[in-house]
Every structure is written in C-alpha cells, then in structure tokens.
Homo-oligomer: A and B are copies of this chain.
Amino acid sequence: MAITIKDVAKLANTSTATVSKVMNNSYSISEATTERVKKAMEELNYHPNATARKFAKQATRTIIFLSEISKNSGYANPQLFEIMSGLENVLSKKGYTLIVKSISSSETAGYIENAIESKVCDGFVIHASVISRELDELIFRKEIPHIVIGTPNFVNHLCWIDIDNRFAGEIAATHLFKKGYQHIAFIGGTEEDNISNHRLQGVQRVFEQHELIFDNLLLRRGSSDTDSGYSSAKELLSSGRLDSIICANNYIAYGCMLALKEENVNVPNEVGVITFDDYPFSKILKPQLTVVGIDVFDVGEQAGKYILQKIRKPNTYMQSYITVPELIERKSTDKTK
C-alpha cells in the first residue's frame, strides 16, 4: 500500500487537513507544525497522489494538443513539432501537463466535446488543419478554452494565432529592392494554398508602395515541392527578364536553385533567391539561402501563454494574434551592386 496523507498526519500527530494545508501552503499553519509535517513527509517519503489531488481540486492542469500526426509527419512537418516544443516549454514551466493527441478533422469536435465534459483537460491547442465548422460552433456554444494554430478558413468564433505571412512577403520584396534587384519573380504553391497567397499579397503590396506593378508574367503557381520549383524556375528563365525569385517555401527554393545551377546562372549576381522558413536546408545549400525566418517555436510559446491566460481569466478576449517574421540575410541575395 502506498503512503497516504493519513500516514503523514498520524506520524506528525495532526489531521489530514493540516497536512494538506502545509502542502498547499495556504491558510495559516504555525512554523512548528509545518516543520513537524514536513519532517513526517520526508521520513515516509510521501508523494501525494496526483489523481486524487486533481479530483479533489476539480482542475486538471492539463492541455491537449490536437493535430494530425502520422507516419512521416516528423519529416514532412518539422514546424508542427517546433510548435509543440514551444508549447511544452511554457506549459511545463507553469506546472501544466501536455497531452498530445493525433486526430482527423472529422473527429475533432466529438473528441473535444467528450474531453471537456469528462474533465480530461482545461483547454485545447488545435492545429488549423483539423478544425471543422462543427467545431467552430461547439466551441462557441460551450465556451471551450482553446486556441487554433494557423489561420482557419472559416472562422466565426475560433480564436487563433498565426504568422503574418503578408508581412513576410513584404520583407522579402523590400529586401530584394534594397539589394538592387528590380525584376522580381514569384513561385508559389497551388492557388488554394493560403500561405503562398498571403506571401504573394505582401510582395504585391510593396510594389504598390513603390508605385510599381508586379509583372504577372513573372508569377508561377504549382505545387509546393522541389519538382515544381525546378520546372517553374526553368520556365521563368527561358521566358523572361528577371533578376530575382521569391520562392514560397524551402522546397520550391531548392528546386529553383537546382534549375539555376543547371542553367549556369550565377546566384546571387545574375539572379537573387529568397524564400521563407529557416529549414536546416537553407543553411547548407551553396550559396546559403536568404530567408524570411519565422520563429514557430515562439508561435507555440505564445499559444501556450494565451491558453493559460484564458483558463485563468476566462473573460480574456482575443480573436487573433500574429507573430512577426524576421529577415535572415545570407549569400543568395548578396549581390555586389
């Protein structure tokens, strides 16, 4: 049998109430009694039962992180885990526990409803890829403490945190102009890919600011992979006058670099290349890629801070929060004017 609070109370010659009060250092307990109790706990090597505590306190101090994780997620989606790390980091510091649960968007609402009713956790951090209309409604109706990571497509009530991808696009374009590039191309993912869309919008906004027009002949949309980056770059090179390429992500950028090398185009002097997200990748290419870096660990941390705040003060209101990207200058745009 495990040692319980009763054993401690008996040894310390007090009541369980007093022992509990000492543990929670709430209420006024005299110095002497406190010492006696602590000594007894020490002597018996007492560890309070965590489940019983949660039960009595009616609070779980637990957050559930929901996203779809399956074979290859670790490789394909390193940002997801970077976010999770940031989240764990702040929760841990505040004595909270992180449960990780893989789920598909069709199951999310059901799972969350059950988990909150069953008091499994105090709140949820939900990856945008697993939200649903049903969830939006549920969360509103039951006032469930939550935060979505990423921009949900149809948001009425969900609150979320994301990267400012438009601003990231602005940073990229501004940097190229500053470096003296003038004919900027853009290679993005599919038309449905909002990340690409927002990054492109940011680029276009900079053109407007400079009272220039973004040349749509220098815009390519494909899929978000290396092959697409490769073929888009080849097309661009053969078709038009350009001196720089903004790639919507690392994979595209890599394909693009391969094409440029094949065509013997010098990077950064003939064509500058810039992309987004600082994958390990971008540091090891030759030349190293200039990147608009996004601190996704920080996104996880912010999400953690927010959900804790929401639990402590349920009337806290926030619909969205945006983290700020930052330029990481490397060789691929280091043009000697």
Task: Tell me the A residues contacting B by CB distance below 8 Å.
Answer: 2, 45, 47-52, 54-55, 60, 69-76, 78-86, 88-89, 92, 97-102, 114, 117-120, 226, 251, 254-255, 258, 278-281, 284, 286, 296-297
- In the bound complex, residues from chain B placing their C-beta under 8 Å from that of A52 are 55
Cβ-defined partner of A85 (8 Å) among B70, B78, B83, B99: B70
Cβ-defined partner of A81 (8 Å) among B81, B117, B258: B81
Instruction: Report yes or no: A74 in contact with B84, Cβ–Cβ below 8 A.
Output: yes
A83 to B69, CA, bound (A): 11
With A51-B54, A101-B92, A117-B2 as given contacts, are A76 and B297 in contact (CB-CB < 8 Å)? no
Instruction: Report yes or no: B54 in contact with A118, Cβ–Cβ below 8 A.
Output: no
A264 to B286, CA, bound (A): 15
Instruction: Report yes or no: B85 in contact with A73, Cβ–Cβ below 8 A.
Output: yes
Which chain B residue shows the least CB distance to A53?
B118
Which chain B residue shows the least CB distance to A52?
B55
Q: Tell me the smallest distance from the CB of A102 to a CB of chain B, in Å.
A: 5
With A51-B60, A279-B75 as given contacts, are A89 and B102 in contact (CB-CB < 8 Å)? yes
- In the bound complex, residues from chain B placing their C-beta under 8 Å from that of A73 are 81-82, 85
- In the bound complex, residues from chain B placing their C-beta under 8 Å from that of A118 are 47-50
With A51-B55, A102-B88, A281-B281 as given contacts, are A297 and B78 in contact (CB-CB < 8 Å)? no
Which chain B residue shows the least CB distance to A113?
B47
A192 to B148, CA, bound (A): 43
Which chain B residue shows the least CB distance to A296?
B74
- 9 smallest beta-carbon distances between A and B, as pairs: A74-B82, A47-B117, A74-B81, A81-B81, A50-B118, A226-B284, A74-B78, A69-B85, A71-B297
A73 to B119, CA, bound (A): 31
- In the bound complex, residues from chain B placing their C-beta under 8 Å from that of A45 are 117
Query: Beyond A48-B118, A74-B80, A254-B284: 12 further Cβ-contacts under 8 Å?
Result: A2-B117, A50-B118, A55-B55, A69-B85, A71-B86, A78-B78, A78-B81, A80-B81, A81-B84, A97-B101, A98-B99, A281-B281
Instruction: Report yes or no: B102 in contact with A101, Cβ–Cβ below 8 A.
Output: no
- Output the residue of A49, A51, A80, A120 with the most chain B CB within 10 A: A51
A97 to B69, CA, bound (A): 15
Instruction: Report yes or no: A100 in contact with B84, Cβ–Cβ below 8 A.
Output: yes
Q: Tell me the smallest distance from the CB of A217 to a CB of chain B, in Å.
A: 27
With A55-B52, A78-B75, A99-B99 as given contacts, are A47 and B88 in contact (CB-CB < 8 Å)? no
User: Can you identify 10 A-B contacts, CB atoms within 8 angstroms?
Assistant: A47-B118, A51-B51, A51-B60, A70-B89, A74-B81, A78-B81, A80-B81, A89-B102, A97-B101, A255-B284
- In the bound complex, residues from chain B placing their C-beta under 8 Å from that of A255 are 284
Instruction: Report yes or no: B85 in contact with A71, Cβ–Cβ below 8 A.
Output: yes
Which chain B residue shows the least CB distance to A254?
B284
- In the bound complex, residues from chain B placing their C-beta under 8 Å from that of A92 are 101-102
A117 to B45, CA, bound (A): 9
A126 to B2, CA, bound (A): 25
